[in-house]
C-alpha cells in the first residue's frame, strides 16, 4: 500500500534525513517530491524551511469486519451446561535427539588479480602525473602509490594502489573527484592541448557507474508504476550523465536536471510522449 509523510528542514537534505530516520528506510526505497524550497528571508524575517513529500510502500492496515444487523439483533440461545469431563492423563513423550547441523564450509574468497604496471618513461606525461600525485598523497598522509598509463582513447588513467583507500575515495567519490580535478589542473595549467586524466582507486568508478545504472532502472520502474515524478539525490555532472544515458531509450520515461551546483538533481519523469534531454 502506498503511503507518504511530509517533513520540513532547514535544507532539502535535512528534511530528507528526518523523513528517512522516521521511516527507518534508505533513500532508494522512497520517492521524494519537493513541495517548497527553503528561503533565508531578510534578517531572519520571512524565512521558510524546505518542505518535502516522501512516498513509500507500507503494509495495508488491518481492520475488523462490521457485524451485520442480523447478527446484532438476534440474541444467542443459552446452551445447557456441559458435564465436567476429566481429561485423560497425557503420556510423557520424550523428544528424539536432534542431529547437530554441521555448518557448511565457507568458500574462500579469491583475492583480486594484481595488475602489472609498466614504469613511466622519463619525461613522459605519465611520469609528470605520478610525480604530482605522489607529492599530493604525501601531504594527505597517504602511502598509496599512483600508477599512470595512456589508453586507446588518449585518456591518461591512474590507479591509486595501497591500503586504506576509502579515505581517498570519500563519500560518493567526492575526495577522489577532488584529487582528479587537482591533477587535471596541475598537468594542464601550462596551456597547449588539454589532456584528460582519470584517477581511480579500487575500481570505484566502474562500481559506482554500475550502481547508478541499477538505481536508474529501479526508479524508472517506480515512475511507470505510479506515474509520478521522482527526484534523485544531488549528483555531479558525470553521475547525472550516467543516469541520463541509462534511461535514454527507456519507454515512457524522460529525465531532466533541476537546481544549482552542488545540489543539482535529476528528475525521472513519466511521459507518454518521450522527449530528448539536454544535460547542462
Of residues 1, 11, 3, the one with CA closest to residue 233: 11
Q: In the structure, what pLDDT confidence band is assigned to residue 71 with cuts at 50, 70 and 90?
A: very low
Share of the chain above pLDDT 90, in %: 48
Q: What is the three-class DSSP state of 36?
A: strand
Rg (CA), the chain: 30
The distance from CA 240 to its chain's CA centroid, rounded to whole angstroms, is 13
- Alpha carbon of 54 to those of 31, 61, 121, 258: distances in Å? 6, 19, 55, 18
Of residues 168, 171, 173, the one with CA closest to residue 239: 173
Q: In the structure, what pLDDT confidence band is assigned to residue 3 with cuts at 50, 70 and 90?
A: confident
pLDDT tens figures, 92-135: 656 556 655 555 555 554 555 567 788 899 999 999 999 999 99
This prediction has a pTM of 0.57
CA atoms lying within 13 Å on the CB side of residue 274: 12
- Residue for cell digits 606525461? 125
DSSP 8-state class, residue 10: S
pLDDT tens figures, 200-258: 999 999 999 999 999 999 999 999 999 999 999 999 888 999 999 999 999 999 999 99
Contact 2, 54 (CB under 8 A): no
Q: What is the pLDDT of residue 95?
A: 59
- The whole-angstrom separation of Cα 134 and Cα 146 is 7
- The whole-angstrom separation of Cα 53 and Cα 36 is 10
- The whole-angstrom separation of Cα 70 and Cα 250 is 56
Contact 209, 242 (CB under 8 A): yes
- The whole-angstrom separation of Cα 154 and Cα 173 is 23
Of residues 15, 19, 22, the one with CA closest to residue 36: 15
Q: What is the three-class DSSP state of 25?
A: coil
Domain covering 206-270 in this structure, CATH number: 3.30.1370.50
Q: What is the three-class DSSP state of 254?
A: strand
Domain boundaries, the chain: 2-57, 125-202, 206-270
**Fold (CATH) for 125-202:** GMP Synthetase; Chain A, domain 3 (3.30.300)
Give 123-162 as a DSSP string. TSHHHHHHHHHHHHHHHTT---EEEEEE-TTSEEEEEEES
- Taking each helix axis as running N to C, give the angle between helix 204-226 and helix 237-246, from 0 to 180 degrees, rounded to the nearest 10: 50
Q: What is the three-class DSSP state of 214?
A: helix
Q: What is the pLDDT of residue 86?
A: 61
Amino acid at each position: 500500500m502506498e503511503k507518504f509523510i511530509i517533513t520540513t528542514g532547514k535544507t532539502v537534505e535535512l528534511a530528507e534525513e528526518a523523513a528517512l530516520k522516521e521511516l527507518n528506510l534508505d533513500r532508494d526505497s522512497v520517492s521524494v517530491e519537493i513541495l517548497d524550497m527553503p528561503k533565508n528571508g531578510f534578517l531572519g524575517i520571512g524565512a521558510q524551511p524546505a518542505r518535502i513529500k516522501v512516498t513509500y510502500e507500507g503494509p495495508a492496515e488491518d481492520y475488523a469486519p462490521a457485524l451485520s444487523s442480523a447478527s446484532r439483533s438476534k440474541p444467542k440461545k443459552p446452551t445447557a451446561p456441559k458435564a465436567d469431563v476429566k481429561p485423560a492423563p497425557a503420556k510423557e513423550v520424550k523428544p528424539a535427539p536432534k542431529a547437530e547441523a554441521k555448518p557448511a564450509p565457507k568458500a574462500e574468497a579469491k583475492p583480486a588479480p594484481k595488475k602489472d604496471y609498466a614504469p613511466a618513461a622519463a619525461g613522459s606525461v605519465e611520469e609528470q602525473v605520478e610525480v604530482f600525485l605522489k607529492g599530493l598523497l604525501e601531504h594527505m598522509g597517504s602511502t598509496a602509490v599512483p600508477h599512470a598509463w595512456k589508453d586507446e582513447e588518449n585518456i591518461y588513467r591512474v590507479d591509486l594502489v595501497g591500503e586504506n583507500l576509502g579515505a581517498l575515495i570519500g563519500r560518493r567519490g567526492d575526495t577522489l573527484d577532488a584529487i582528479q580535478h587537482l591533477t587535471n589542473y596541475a598537468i594542464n595549467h601550462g596551456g597547449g592541448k588539454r589532456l584528460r586524466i582519470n584517477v581511480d582507486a579500487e575500481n570505484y568508478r566502474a562500481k559506482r557507474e554500475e550502481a547508478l545504472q541499477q538505481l536508474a532502472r529501479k526508479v524508472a520502474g517506480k515512475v511507470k508504476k505510479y506515474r509520478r515524478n521522482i527526484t534523485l539525490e544531488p549528483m555531479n555532472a558525470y553521475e547525472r550523465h550516467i543516469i541520463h544515458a541509462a534511461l535514454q531509450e527507456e519507454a515512457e520515461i524522460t529525465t531532466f536536471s533541476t537546481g544549482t551546483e552542488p545540489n543539482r538533481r535529476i528528475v525521472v519523469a513519466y511521459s507518454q510522449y518521450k522527449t530528448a534531454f539536454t544535460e547542462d
